[in-house]
Amino acid sequence: MKKENVKVLARNRKARHEYFIEDTIEAGLVLKGTEVKSIRQGKVNIQEAYAIVENGEVHVYSMHISPYEQGNIYNVDPIRKRKLLLHKREIRRLGSLIMQKGYTLIPLSLYLKDGLVKMELAVAKGKKLYDKREAIAKKDAQRRMEQHMSEKYR
């Protein structure tokens, strides 16, 4: 059994607060050489990124990869659309899921897996304001309970 070598490069922390995560899937990315070098340095932002299924392909938009310093003429547009590598059946499944009202594709994390750049993509539904407040209240109550228990057993 082979041990997986995974290094997380970027994480979308707001995603789990802003959305209900229904399903996740791993996808590869089509990148240029200087983009890979910049990503390896951690100069990537996926906070505002989202993905769309179009013409039987999945593309990610608004993912900002800073230009590589030594890249000169080989650097490309930092926020260009980038193709995601998925199987046809996965693309069809994602397409049918996001056709439903309120669902979208958002990246949760970007990581290196055995030397290749991969993205964890989620099918998500946006939370309403009251859902966010409810989640914050639950976390706060849990924190207070744990704090009370730790004070009680000191």
At 3, is the pLDDT very low, low, confident or very high (cuts 50, 70, 90)? Answer: low
pLDDT of 34 over the 60 cut: yes
Q: Note the pLDDT of residue 129.
A: 77
Q: Note the pLDDT of residue 89.
A: 93
- 37-84 pLDDT tens trace: 888 888 899 999 999 999 989 999 998 888 887 777 767 777 889 999
Q: Which of 30, 8, 38 is nearest to 108 (CA)?
A: 8
pTM beyond cutoff 0.85: no
In Å, the largest CA–CA distance within the chain is 64
Cα separation of 118 and 83, whole Å?
Answer: 12
- 116-153 pLDDT tens trace: 899 999 998 888 777 778 888 888 888 988 888 887 77
CATH of domain 6-127: 2.40.280.10
Q: Note the pLDDT of residue 88.
A: 93
- 106-124 pLDDT tens trace: 999 999 988 889 999 999 8
Cα separation of 49 and 12, whole Å?
Answer: 9
